[in-house]
Amino acid sequence: MAGSGLGPVRGSVTSSKRQSTVDAWSAGRSVFVDNLKVLLIAAIIIGHGFGSYTSTEMFAYADVRETTLTTGAEVALIAVIVPVGLFMIPLLFLLAGLLTPRSLEHKGPGPFARDRLWRLGVPFAVYSFLLWPALLYALYRPLGNATQSYWRELVGSREEALDTGYLWFVGDLLLFSLVYAGWARLRRARPSRGDPVERAGGPARDIRFVHLLALAATVALLTFFVRFVFPFDSQKYVDLNLYQWPECIALFALGVTAASRRWLTDVPDRLRRHCRTGTLVSAAAFVAALGFAGTGEALDQSTWAGGWHWPAFVFAVGGSALAVFEPVWLLAEAQRHLDRPLRWVRPVVSRSAYGAFILQGFVLIGISVILRPVGLPAEVKALLVAAGGVAGSFGLAWLLVSRVPVMSRIL
């Protein structure tokens, strides 16, 4: 009798505790930020799912894929992924920058840095040095793609950088956050003279479009020169997308600066309209310039990699303009259209977003391996992997967060 009576009660109590924990986590959070994070991370997982079956090897499984998307499907996929990819990562860095000052102010520089090391450093280290190389070695070795030692193939050698996979974003964010925490600590240590606003001569000035133009120009020049040393899509020294650092640092710093201008609640409407125009004009000019380079046979691998020639400069300028203007525009649009509960984005889903980003590679490769012997077209497999990757990554993340206490602190 005891067994038959207490089981459901115990289960309902546990479920109630989990729900109350999620409710406490979501209390006071920005609805549009959580919705936007879920959408961005789901889009990244979908892109990696379809990229598993491309000849351009856009994701790790593509190295050993058993079938390939048709040329038409791959061209259509690239036409979607490239424009989305130009703003997705900068937008994530902008969001991270916007959220950082409030978190640091609440915790203090020391506790903030320790929290970043725990939540970003631990997953990055475990993933990069243990789980990801082990998974890839287990995947590649039987298929003949890993012919040398485990260490030399996947962890690092003179020829290859440490493969951080898609978690390069987490590694970069950790570095930027620690630098900001150190800067904040030094700033607090300086002797203060009066109110900070009074010392600055008044309230902080609004960020105007001309400031973003200057930022985009600076990012473009830095990107152009950085790619002499770190070519686009290279893994030199360490796989932290160093060729992308100018725009990543710029968007993180823009977010930190804009946090005091209340961008987290309302990007000025005039700036939103200017950034929309800047995005559309930049995109049109970017496509036209690359199209012109293509007709003149000046468009080749060196265009993307970088170098002392005008197509590489156009690629740096166009990408940098979109990386600055488009995230600001989309942030403003998200504030206007995503600041409400969405039927399919519950607090449980939002709470699982970061974990889903960390776990996506294992889920995607797992589904791909299961489907490997099944005789389906690549397009069907890609769709199944992408959809299953989103559901599986968020579901597995929630299981870990809700059932493993230490994971709730990390993820």
Give per-residue pLDDT as tens, 118-131. 999 999 999 988 89
Q: Which of 247, 338, 322 is nearest to 277 (CA)?
A: 322
Beta-carbon contacts of 347 under 8 Å, excluding residues fewer than 6 positions away, are: 22, 23, 25, 26, 34
pLDDT band at residue 239 using 50, 70 and 90 as cut-offs = confident
Average pLDDT over residues 259-270: 93
pLDDT of 358 above 90: yes
Q: What is the pLDDT of residue 295?
A: 56
pLDDT at 170: 96
Q: Please tell me whether residue 345 adopts helix, strand or coil conformation.
A: strand
Tell which residue, 225, 232, 121, has the closest CA to residue 176.
Answer: 121
> How many domains are there within the chain?
1
Closest CA to 272 of 258, 293, 260: 258
Is the model's pLDDT at 359 over the cut of 90? yes
From the list 404, 358, 391, the residue with the least C-alpha distance to 173 is: 358
Q: What pLDDT is stored for residue 37 in this prediction?
A: 95
Picking from 62-71, 182-191, 214-223, which range would have the lowest pLDDT averaged per residue?
182-191
Average pLDDT for 340-357: 90
Helix axes 269-295, 310-337, angle to 10 degrees: 150
Q: What's residue 346's pLDDT?
A: 85
What is residue 356's predicted lDDT score, i.e. its pLDDT?
97
Domain assignment of residue 137, yes or no: no
Is pLDDT above 50 for 198?
A: no
Region of poorest pLDDT, from 123-127, 230-234, 247-251, 371-375: 230-234
| pLDDT score, position 195 | 44
Compute how many other C-beta atoms are within 10 angstroms of the C-beta atom of residue 389: 30
CA-to-CA distance for 367 and 393, rounded, in angstroms? 11
Can you tell me the distance from the alpha carbon of 88 to that of 327, in angstroms, rounded to the nearest whole number?
8
Mean pLDDT, residues 125-141: 88
Residue 321 is predicted with a pLDDT of: 94
Would you state the pLDDT for residue 230?
A: 87
Amino acid identity of residue 102, one-letter, is R
| 3-class secondary structure per residue, 11-44 | HHHHHHHHHHHHHHHHCCCCHHHHHHHHHHHHHH
In a domain, 177, yes or no: no
Query: How far is Cα 54 from Cα 71, in angstroms, rounded to an integer?
Result: 9
Residues 6+ apart with CB under 8 A from 53: 61, 62, 65, 67, 68, 69, 378, 379, 381, 382, 385
The whole-number pLDDT of residue 141 equals 80
Q: Is the dihedral of CA 329, 340, 48, 127 positive or negative?
A: positive
Domain housing 40: 28-69+346-411
Per-range mean pLDDT, top range of 76-90, 120-134, 144-158, 288-302? 120-134
In a domain, 353, yes or no: yes
Write the DSSP symbol of residue 63: G
Average pLDDT over residues 384-400: 97
Flag whether 372 is in a domain. yes
In the predicted model, what is the mean pLDDT of residues 19-45? 82
Q: What is the mean pLDDT of residues 54-67?
A: 90
pLDDT for position 1:
41
If you ran DSSP here, which 8-state letter would residue 62 be given?
Answer: G
pLDDT confidence bin for 20, thresholds 50/70/90: low
Please tell me the predicted confidence (pLDDT) of residue 237.
65
Report if residue 8 sits inside a domain: no
More confident residue, 194 or 164: 164
pLDDT score for 199: 40
Q: Confidence band (pLDDT; 50, 70, 90) for 256?
A: very high
Task: Provide mean pLDDT across the span 31-45.
Answer: 95
Q: State yes or no: pLDDT of 202 exceeds 50.
A: no
Higher local confidence (pLDDT), 146 or 71: 71
**Alpha carbons 206 and 212: distance in angstroms, whole number:** 11
Lowest-confidence segment of 15-29, 110-124, 231-245 by average pLDDT: 15-29
Residue 135 pLDDT > 50: yes
Query: Looking at the predicted structure, is the pLDDT value of residue 200 above 80?
Result: no
- Element spanning 144, H or E: none
3-17, 62-76, 301-315, 377-391 — which is least confidently predicted? 3-17
User: Quick one: what percent of the chain has pLDDT higher than 90?
Assistant: 56
**Segment 74-99 mean pLDDT:** 87
Answer whether residue 64 is part of any domain.
yes
Question: What is the separation of C-alpha 302 from the centre of its chain, rounded to a whole number of angstroms?
Answer: 26
Three-class SS state of 342: strand
| Mean pLDDT of the residues in the chain | 85
Radius of gyration for the chain, computed over Cα atoms and rounded to the nearest angstrom? 23
407, 97 in Cβ contact below 8 A? no
Residue 190 in domain: no
Does some domain include residue 75? no
Query: Between the CA of residue 250 and those of 212, 267, 286, 324, what are the distances in Å?
Result: 10, 18, 20, 8
Dig out the tokens for 177 from the structure.
């956050």
